[in-house]
Amino acid sequence: MNKYRSPIMKHRRTLIVVLLNILFCAIVLYFFANYSQLRPYAGSAIKEVLAGLLLLTSIYANYFLLYPLLRKKHPVVYWVVVVFVSIVAGLIEMAIAWPFMKYCCAAAMEQWGLFRFFLHHLMIVTARDLAFNFFPYMFRERQELRKALDAEVQVVYRDTQMVDVIDHESNLLMIPKDDIYYCVQDGNFTRIYTVYDSWFTRLGSMKHLVQLFGEEEFVRISPAVLIPYQYIWSCNGSEVFLKKMPWTKQPLSFTLDSKNSDSIADQVAEGLQRYKAQTGGEQVPKRRPQSNYKRKPVVPPQQKLDMVHSCIQANPGCNTTDIVAQTEISLSTVERCLSELRKRKLVKYVGSKRHGGYHVNS
């Protein structure tokens, strides 16, 4: 049974972020107001708050409006608009503080001149606004990169039903989804245990695996444990018992999350019923050697590919030993680079195995 959650509790993370942003802007404005060479005090606390809200508005407008609309299609226009918005925000902030500045900074205005004094403070305020607008830009760039990587992983998983993992020797492997026995969160990594008495690691939190697998075949029984329905034996409302494997002495069990144990138990019961209706249950697989897992080929970095290609171009007919000596790249990496370059048809091997060498394709 789902417990009622108030709107504040549902959106508490967003509210906390907004409050932290407001507090941050208030601290920045307080710092600026206490150093007249940066920007003199506006004259009242209300005007300082308005200046802070103006800065916060420009940051949020960049994050939610300017970046999504202009960054990809019109990058030059995007930066021009960001600079323009920063200048306008600086002008408005100076206009808010100007009535008080005329009296408290009269001596400085007389010494510098009115135009030079105003332009000096306007440039400082505009530079500050531009600096703060780099933050939403960097955050959105990071989010876009994360979305692109997640989309690529989703495509690979959808087409192959295989998951990328790392073994104990830091090799990148692809294992079938049906081999996953259970997953456990381990700091910034997720440890994936298979039905063949082996385990692997995967960079990222449990949240990414949940998004990858969905809720049709896997259930998250606690913040740190994810289990496929096909290997769940039973659930008594507080614990989930897994099917016994040939290598286990007794069935494994995991405790449900105490805060949502009722809803999770209902979800497990519904998922088991749906799984049995679709498949009729499956036998426990026989033990299989780990070597059956497919190793995903690792493409060398483009920088090393270019080094090897340039070496062959400068020394036609060179062999692997010559390339290693001239580039100071390890033998295994050079061999992978040569394999990738040959696959891309950028180089070719001419001659016998003993006396031949590599040449650049014309």
- CA 265, CA 242: separation in Å to the nearest integer? 14
Residue 252 near residue 238, CB atoms below 8 Å: no
Question: Are both 287 and 306 inside the same structural domain?
Answer: no
Residues 256 and 307 occupy one common structural domain = no
| Together in a domain, 167 and 124 | no
Residue 2 has pLDDT above 70, yes or no: no
Task: With cut-offs at 50, 70 and 90, classify the pLDDT of residue 28.
Answer: confident
134-159: burial string, b at 16+ Cβ within 10 Å, e else: eebbeebeeeeeeeeeeeebeebbee
Residue 324 belongs to domain spanning: 302-360
For the segment 68-89, what is each residue's pLDDT rounded down to a tens digit? 888 888 989 999 999 999 999 8
Tell me what the mean pLDDT of segment 44-65 comes to. 83
Residue 193: the pLDDT is 92
Q: Are residues 265 and 210 in the same domain?
A: yes
* Domain endpoint, select from 292, 311, 346: 292
21 and 100 fall within a common domain: yes
The pLDDT, as a whole number, for residue 282 is: 56
* Residue 212 or residue 43, greater confidence: 212
Q: In this structure, what CATH number is given to the domain that contains residue 220?
A: 2.40.50.1020
More confident position, 83 or 169: 83
Residue 2 counted as domain residue: no
Do the beta carbons of residue 193 and residue 184 sit within 8 Å?
yes
Classify residue 313: in a domain, yes or no: yes
Q: Same structural domain for residues 178 and 261? A: yes
Q: Domain with 319 in it: what CATH number?
A: 1.10.10.10
Q: Say yes or no to pLDDT of 362 above 90.
A: no
User: Of the candidates 243, 266, 292, which is a domain's last residue?
Assistant: 292
H-helix or E-strand containing 35? Answer: none
Q: Name the residue type at position 85.
A: V
How much of the chain is in helix, strand and coil states, percent to nearest 5? 60, 15, 25
Give the residue-averaged pLDDT of 336-350.
Answer: 87
* pLDDT surpasses 50 at 251: yes
Q: What domain count does the chain have? A: 3
Mean pLDDT of 26-41: 75
Whether 51 has a pLDDT exceeding 50, the answer reads yes
Does the pLDDT value for residue 33 go beyond 90?
Answer: no
Q: For residues 57 and 98, state if they share a domain.
A: yes
Q: What is the pLDDT of residue 1?
A: 38
Distance (Å) of CA 38 to CA 47, 88, 261: 16, 17, 56
